[in-house]
Amino acid sequence: MKHRSRPSSPAPAPLSAASRGLCALLALGAAAAAQTPVAVSPADRAGLEGSSFTHYPLGRKNARMQTLHDDVPGGTVLSGHAYRRDAITVRGLVDGLTCDLQVTVSMAPAAAAQASTTFAQNVGQNAVVVLPRTQIALSPTDRPTIDPAATWELVIPYATPFVVPPGGGTVCVDVEIFGNQSPGGTDQNLSLYLDAHQHYADGRAMQPAYRFGQGCPAPGQAQDSYATLDLWRLAGGTTECDVSIRDGVADGGSGTTRALLMMGHAIDGTPLPFRSDCPFWSSNELWFALPGTMDAAGDYDGTLPGLPLLPPGYRLWCQAASIDLTTVDMAFSDALTLVTPPYGALPIPTARVANANDRTALTGTFSYAVPVMAFF
């Protein structure tokens, strides 16, 4: 075999100072993605999916957002922060982008719950521009294979570290967005689906379930049945579940259809003996009849109240079903899994103030719905 020599390549041109800085930041970002965070905020979301999602701040083309964190330990050295992909809301690939941004970190003069809607009043005297305006390349993200996402893929490395004072306090992370580049074009508002969490003033907590696997169709339905599930840990010492079922067994007016929720401690996958296309995704130690009936379209929306208070940190494997008690027509949904949450922390430890359209604005909107963030 003959080998053809390659033509010699010209020597690469020297990198500019800006290019060298960007390369260094990208290298830092790749290193941070592989590290264990020194802190996660909200702290109880380190191993739990957030209850919501957000496109702020990275999905905006012109914005400013401050996140305020009471739960970052004193003495922590912050070399960057990162966001993770929401596991619940959307399936499939979300495009990457290049984001033009600047980050300033300081110790806010007031706790997160007392943050001002005026941006300047949340910035402490020791403010450090940890990342001067630059462009950061953020990779595409795919749906995690379980909740929460195992990696913090959207990393913002700092050029200058910030040290939280030994006594702690409220860390203010101030992100200004100047623009972006994406497959959709220049300076677009984008749907990035970052994991986020909603705090409640009474300490309740909501945990959404992650859907996987495949359900089976009900007689007369063209689509497989599927379900969504939100578990609530209520301040009164009980648990309840909000359950929605779609494409289940339709009720033709007889009122004989019922919806079921099954819970187990393990994943299964065994098919039903008389419906091989319907797997038992859960070990199903517990079966609950849901109040009410299916509707004429085979849909159900309801709440299962008064469940015993489950200990936090316990993974449940669940599945919904629908059945007509007269005809015995039935359908099983896809699989649902979640980890039982603790009560929400009080006082509420994180908040955000954001202006979604104008980074030069003096004020923003206060909210307790915050992106889940890791610090490195």
Confidence of residue 14 (pLDDT cuts 50, 70, 90): very low
Confidence of residue 21 (pLDDT cuts 50, 70, 90): very low
Q: Considering the domain 205-339, what is its CATH architecture?
A: Sandwich (2.60)
C-alpha dihedral sign at 112, 114, 118, 124: negative
pLDDT of residue 42: 98
> ∠ at Cα 91 (90, 96), nearest 5°?
85
31 pLDDT more than 50: no
Give me the residue label for tokens 């290049």.
98
Q: Which residues of 217-251 are buried (b: 16+ CB within 10 A; e: fewer)?
A: bbeebeebbbbbbbbbbbeeeebebbbbbbbbbbb
Domain edges within the chain: 18-199+345-375, 205-339
Query: Span 336-344, mean pLDDT?
Result: 96
Give me the residue label for tokens 């006082």.
347
Query: Span 17-21, mean pLDDT?
Result: 43
C-alpha dihedral sign at 287, 343, 339, 66: positive
pLDDT of residue 23: 45
pLDDT of residue 39: 98
Distances (CA, A) of 212 to 160, 255, 336: 41, 30, 7
103 pLDDT more than 60: yes
Query: Span 165-185, mean pLDDT?
Result: 97
27 pLDDT more than 60: no
pLDDT of residue 271: 86
Query: Span 344-356, mean pLDDT?
Result: 97
118 pLDDT more than 80: yes
Q: Are 271 and 279 in contact (CB under 8 A)?
A: yes
Write out pLDDT tens, residues 301-328.
999 999 888 889 999 999 999 999 999 9
Distances (CA, A) of 114 to 11, 118, 149, 336: 57, 12, 31, 37
pLDDT of residue 309: 81
Query: Span 268-292, mean pLDDT?
Result: 90
Write out pLDDT tens, residues 189-231.
999 999 999 999 999 999 999 999 999 999 989 999 999 999 9
15 pLDDT more than 50: no
pLDDT of residue 5: 30
13 pLDDT more than 70: no
pLDDT of residue 11: 35
Q: Are 307 and 316 in contact (CB under 8 A)?
A: no
| Arithmetic mean of pLDDT over the chain | 91
pLDDT, greater one: 17 or 209: 209
